Amino acid sequence: MKEISENEGTVESVAKMILKSKYLVAFTGAGISTESGISDFRGKDGIWTRKDKGLPPKQGKHFDEAEPNTAHLALLTLQELGILKFLISQNVDNLHLKSGILPELLTELHGNYSIMKCLDCDARYKKSEIGWDCDEHGRGFRTEPSQENEPKCPKCNGRIISSIVNFNDSMPEKEMLLSREHSLKCDLMLVIGSSLSVNPAAFFPRMAHDNGAEIVIINIDSTKMDKLADTRIYEKAGVFMEQVVQRIKKFKVI
């Protein structure tokens, strides 16, 4: 039985915090995509949770088949209303871009499965754009040997690899700088579907908090930073965020 925490929020209270905010930033993790059929890592049925029990990952949807859910679409609405100023995501499933979130208002800290990058000039390319075929060329991870016939960078002929950041890979510099900039600018951060267990990504909600921003954590299970939260929501992100945006639309009478 979950104990009711004193900072537990409601649709109404979170909608009011969002409307009052001057610079709202959202920070998302794998939990925002479970309602799209993609497993998370440390939730009750997560990939690492099951692995620790000696179980294989739950059969989820492949990224190609998954569609954005109501939580992704709620963030898009907040962006379209001019309320959500920036989005920092740890997810590689491409669902924020697929939902219509503007690429220039998003950082994907751990990369994006559908995007390749040049090791030499850091140019980014959609797999389809440069003819990268995983069946023929493999996953393109930096730690794997390059293939004879794999596509090269059209700009500088450098080696192309997956943009996904694996453990022990260095973090993408541009994304880290942008995430830091917006974490320090925000006065409210919505942290949605992350256990906040992995650094340096989890530094950003802490950075925002230490810089005086209010923190709302929307997460079914407890997280490593629940104590930082001004408001804590234990609901499913898709259900809760859809209600919040409906409430905001009523307040704004649009």
Active-site residue numbers? 110
Q: Which is nearer to ligand APR, 9 or 193 (CB)?
A: 193
Q: Where are the beta strands (DSSP E) in 102-207?
A: 106-108, 115-118, 124-126, 160-162, 188-192
Residue 231: enclosing H or E segment and its boundaries? strand 231-233
Among 118, 190, 215, 229, binds Zn ion (CB under 5 A): 118
Residue 83's contacts (CB-CB under 8 Å, 6 or more residues apart) are 18, 19, 21, 24, 248
* Contact region with Zn ion (CB under 5 A), list: 28-36, 55-63, 122-130, 163-171: 122-130
Among 77, 90, 99, 183, binds ligand APR (CB under 6 A): 90
Q: Which is nearer to Zn ion, 141 or 251 (CB)?
A: 141
Q: How many CA atoms lie within 13 A of 138 on its CB side?
A: 13
Q: Does 57 bind Zn ion (CB under 5 A)?
A: no
What is the sign of the dihedral through the CA atoms of 128, 133, 134 and 138? Answer: negative
| Per-position x/- string for 183-202, each x denoting binding to ligand APR as judged by CB under 6 A, each - no binding | ----------xxx-xx----
Q: Does 40 bind ligand APR (CB under 6 A)?
A: yes
Residue with tokens 């493999």: 138
When CB distances are held under 5 to 8 angstroms depending on the partner's kind, the choice from ligand APR, Zn ion, none that residue 221 binds is ligand APR
Q: Are 126 and 65 in contact (CB under 8 A)?
A: no
* Spatial distance between the Cα atoms of 235 and 23, rounded to a whole number of angstroms: 24
Q: Which residues bind ligand APR (CB under 6 A)?
A: 29-31, 34-35, 40-43, 46, 90, 110, 193-195, 197-198, 218-221, 223, 236-238
Q: Which residues bind Zn ion (CB under 5 A)?
A: 118, 120-121, 123, 153, 155-156, 158
